[in-house]
Amino acid sequence: MAYLVIVESPAKANTIKSYLGSNYKVIASKGHIRDLPKSTLGIDVENGFAPHYINIRGKGDVIKELKKEAKNATKIFLATDPDREGEAISWHIANQLGIPESRECRVTFNEITKTAVKEAIKKPRKINIDLVNSQQARRILDRLIGFNLSQILWKSVKSGLSGGRVQSVALRIVTEREAEIRAFVPQEYWTVEASLKSGDSTTNVRFYGDKNGKIKIENADFANEIESKIKGKPFRVVSVRRMEKHKLPAPPFTTSTLQQEASKKLGYQAQRIMKIAQELYDGLNLGAEFGGVQGLITYMRTDSQRVSESAQAAAIDYIRANYGEENVPETPRVYKSHAGSQDAHEAIRPANVELVPKLVKKMLTPEQYKLYKLIWERFIASQMEAALFDTVSVELENSGYIFKTGGYQIKSKGFMTVYGGEFEDTEDEFHLAGLPNIKENEELESEQIIKEQHFTEPPPRYTEASLIKFLEENGIGRPSTYAPIISIIVSRNYVKRDGKSLVATELGEVITAFMREYFPEIIDYEYTALMEANLDSIEHKENTIVGVISDFYHQFSKELEAASAAEAKVKVEPTYEESDVKCEKCGAMMIYKNGRYGKFLACPSYPACKNTKAIDKNGKVVNNEHEKQPIELADFKCEKCGADMVVRRGRFGTFYACSNYPECTFTKQKIVETGAHCPICSSKILARHGKGNTLFYSCERYPECDFSSWDMPLTENCPDCGEMLFYRKSRKVVMCKNKSCGYKRDEEMTVIE
């Protein structure tokens, strides 16, 4: 072996290996190999905040393999991801392998294609120490905040808690929205519309105000007054404005906009989106027809909207050939990245526009296909001509009141042929297939007057998409951190999911209140954004690690001392939501609490009164006396008596039982579809529980079809031989069913139970 290429992920290693000749060996570091210790601070505060790195537990074998292969290599290429984290991983690997900083060993590629990889190998560079220092500063700062905050929270609030630089701000955002919703007082308002006859068409017009401007109808009396004045009188057309409007395409995706759009359109969580995007970037086997293993998209951690000239030219050629010259703009579209973006990489786009989603669909999992299709269509549309609309705005007068309506017709779909075909109607503008031929000074009679009462609604709770948008717009965190931040605050029960909404828990509100009291700067939006900019400045040699960290730590250490000194005096009590259920034992109004099995009702007088009540997922009290814990209703009824079925947990795993127990003893095993198909009869494979609560997977026709496995079958097939792949939980590895094939990859995933 002459050359050694070191990447991060095994999947990427397999892709790159297929591009390079037999003189290259490609191995994976499987992420970071060194980090700060978990049990101690790991930072020498007194000596320039020097970090103390140690080898990550469990990475010993990986490091041994790296050293062994490096010893046999005549040249080493460090090809980890092209971002701060990737640069830092290469720096740590170089340190372990004894590679000097002056050596040109670092290679990066924005897309994993044969051309890009081979070009990168020809042009190695030195490790960018400024980029490494920027990453180190972030890691040191996050450790200083996280380690110290967690200790304070353990002592002052509850053991097992954690705080963080960006997660605390994200939690504050969700918590404050919850406070806004509670404080919201609905305001009454009314709308008045008239249905007017114009020739063979009917036009709906809406009350706007008078000649002095817009007027809000705040009560029924005013609505009735308007109705009485206009009823039976003609509506005179004051003005008709016709014009052509352009709608420009959205720019190609950045990390943030991809997460927002995939969350809204596909319903995926941010962490899931990034996992699928990583798979598309690392490369998938598309078969011999499409060149074997290919990376389908460019690097997915970017905040730039820039596109390379070659990619833009390829997109325009594709548009011209498939959608016609009329859909090619006169000049190529250039999108300006927002202020503060790094612009180190291109926007997220397909690596090869000729790999049309429908052509490669059968080689991708359903999730991979949907996300790739979204990215491909967004990019192609971003390079197309604008959509054109013919619009009409009409203003009418009746008894001194002004009414308005408007409409539009699509004249040319442009980019909407590919992406964004929906057009959202505004309050006074509707998509009308045939616009009525209304003329100025024409008088129209009303067929019907429609009055409706409305109430203002509280601001909506944040979803993952809207929270990510808020973080990006306010310069809080970086796109690559949004998914893990949301995952952390949810996994620690600071925030819970309610459908797509994020809701602050009692614990989350307690922590935010504590942070607001003792560490106001940490959760201040502007201060957090400024800190982010200071950390970025290290990359551009405008600042140093010591300069940025010492400026922050000077104030932070004082806040730590103040919080520690006040520890004995501070007692932050959680706030609980009161229910309308009265405790039959002591008469107090019961409160909602969260327990091991979910939400339940408890007496606020605990421990004096220990009364509790189980509730279903809709908050309804379960009246059965035998119920001792909160329950979850199934989405089907009992087959014997028609009562609700509830989820139970027993020694043989999760199952369904009739809520009318013990009168009705009907039960049903809980079975979950895996998405995979039986290799024997092609039926669905289900996850089941056997004796001793052991999980196994079997054909839905079992025992008629005797296929079963202790390992979880996957929906994807082996990229080498096409056989079924299995996930072995005990070894955290994906393996091929065909033992002679030998394909396997290290991977940790959630087991379907």
Q: What is the pLDDT of residues 578-607, one digit of tens each?
A: 888 889 889 899 988 766 556 788 888 887
Strands 598-602 and 612-614: antiparallel
Outline where 285-391 has alpha helix (H). 309-323, 357-360, 366-382
Contact 494, 511 (CB under 8 A): yes
In this predicted structure, what is the pLDDT of residue 171? 96
The count of C-alpha atoms lying within 13 angstroms of the C-alpha of 277, restricted to the half-sphere facing its C-beta, is 28
Could you list the beta-strand ranges (E) of 456-556. 495-498, 501-504
Distance CA 238, CA 444 (A): 12
Contacts of residues 672-681 at CB distance under 8 Å and 24 or more positions apart, as own/partner, are: 672/752, 672/753, 674/712, 674/713, 674/715, 674/752, 675/366, 675/715, 676/713, 676/714, 676/715, 676/724, 678/705, 678/707, 679/707, 679/723, 679/724, 679/737, 680/705, 680/706, 680/707, 681/705, 681/707
Q: Is 3 helix (H, G, I), strand (E, B) or coil?
A: strand
Model pLDDT for residues 497-547, shown as the tens digit of each residue: 988 899 999 889 999 999 999 999 999 999 999 999 999 899 989 999 999
Distance CA 507, CA 312 (A): 49
Walk me through the domains of the chain, giving residue ranges and CATH numbers.
3-127 (3.40.50.140), 136-184+475-565 (1.10.460.10), 188-248+387-455 (2.70.20.10), 256-382 (1.10.290.10), 576-631 (no CATH), 672-746 (no CATH)
> How buried is 428 (Cβ within 10 angstroms: 0-12 exposed, 13-18 middle, 19+ buried)?
middle
Q: 299 an active-site residue?
A: yes
Distance CA 648, CA 657 (A): 7
Candidates 268, 299, 553, 656; catalytic one: 299
Distance CA 155, CA 512 (A): 16
Distance CA 85, CA 7 (A): 12
In this predicted structure, what is the pLDDT of residue 716? 73
DSSP symbol at 355: S
Strands 3-7 and 75-78: parallel
Distance CA 632, CA 218 (A): 42
Element (H, E) at 426: none
In this predicted structure, what is the pLDDT of residue 21? 84
In this predicted structure, what is the pLDDT of residue 381? 96
At residue 135, φ and ψ (nearest 5 deg) are: -65, -40
> How buried is 654 (Cβ within 10 angstroms: 0-12 exposed, 13-18 middle, 19+ buried)?
middle
Q: Which residues contact 54 (CB under 8 A, 6 or more apart)?
A: 34, 35, 36, 37, 42
What stretches in the chain show pLDDT beneath 50?
425-431, 433-435, 568, 625-628
Distance CA 499, CA 130 (A): 42
Buried b (16+ CB within 10 A) or exposed e, 698-733: bbbebeeeebebebbbbebbbbeeebbbbbeeeeeb
Distance CA 268, CA 464 (A): 9
The count of C-alpha atoms lying within 13 angstroms of the C-alpha of 530, restricted to the half-sphere facing its C-beta, is 11
Whose tokens are 């490369």? That residue is 283
DSSP symbol at 418: T
At residue 420, φ and ψ (nearest 5 deg) are: 75, 40
